[in-house]
Amino acid sequence: MLKQKLLMISLIIAMISTFLGTVYIAFRDTAIADSNMMNVGTLNLKTTNVNGVTATITATSMSPGDTIGPSSINLNNYGNINGASLDISLSYSEHDSAASAAPNLQVNKTADQFAAEMTITTMVYRGTGLLQRIPDLNSNGRIDLQDAANADLTGLTGITASDSEFFIISMQLGNVSSDFQADGIDIMINFRLNQ
């Protein structure tokens, strides 16, 4: 009886050892890479010396032909490793606070309608124009904020550690009716620095 119990315990221990050995082998992997390097550090992007990676530009009470900018946004990498690439994305939302200042004007344009009338006249990063990267997606014959919000502005040259670069943008409201004067828009420009 004692021999059977010892044999049974030995078998259980052997089964558990086999199981644990199999799990250890399944989750263990070793590789040698002579030419690869791993950097450990931080990327710390700030816009115009402020925490955060989004800059907001507000366009309200505009008349036909009015411009915004050029707005210069300073992008700082306060981290200790180089940024390999930078992604930029634009978005917008309705901002109709001008209606209270001019109650006789109608607020009747959507953010999309306003964005389609805001022609981007300048968009530059690191001294390189970005307008050629933005297709006229809404087919209105010009590059506007609506086009830029849907464009692929990823994979731009990154920012080295402890360095800064500039992003410059300017826009002009088209030759529209006075229906746009009480309408407005907030333009959010988001920056993402990648390793």
What is the secondary structure of 39-107 as a DSSP string?
A: ------EEETTBSSSEEEEEEESPPTT-EEEEEEEEEEE-SSS---EEEEEEEEEE--THHHH-TTS--
Domain total of the chain: 1
Predicted local confidence at residue 11, as pLDDT: 65
**Total count of residues recorded for the chain:** 195
Predicted local confidence at residue 191, as pLDDT: 93
Predicted local confidence at residue 15, as pLDDT: 67
How far is Cα of residue 44 from the mean position of the Cα atoms in its chain?
14
User: Is there a domain that residue 20 lies in?
Assistant: no
Residue 17: which pLDDT band, with cuts at 50, 70 and 90? low
User: Is there a domain that residue 15 lies in?
Assistant: no
Q: CA 107 to CA 60: how far, in whole Å?
A: 11
Is residue 7 pLDDT above 80, yes or no?
no
What sign does the dihedral 106-109-110-111 (CA atoms) show? negative
The structure tokens listed for 78 are 């306060």
Q: CA 159 to CA 154: how far, in whole Å?
A: 14
Parent domain of 106: 45-194
The percentage of the chain sitting over the pLDDT mark of 90, rounded to a whole number, equals: 43
The structure tokens listed for 106 are 């109608």
User: Is there a domain that residue 32 lies in?
Assistant: no
User: Is there a domain that residue 33 lies in?
Assistant: no
User: Is there a domain that residue 59 lies in?
Assistant: yes
User: 176: Cβ–Cβ under 8 A, 6 or more apart, which residues?
Assistant: 64, 117
* Tens-digit pLDDT profile for residues 100-133: 555 555 557 788 988 999 999 999 999 999 999 9
* Tens-digit pLDDT profile for residues 132-190: 999 999 999 999 999 999 999 999 999 999 899 999 999 998 887 766 666 788 999 99
164 φ, ψ to 5°? -140, 155
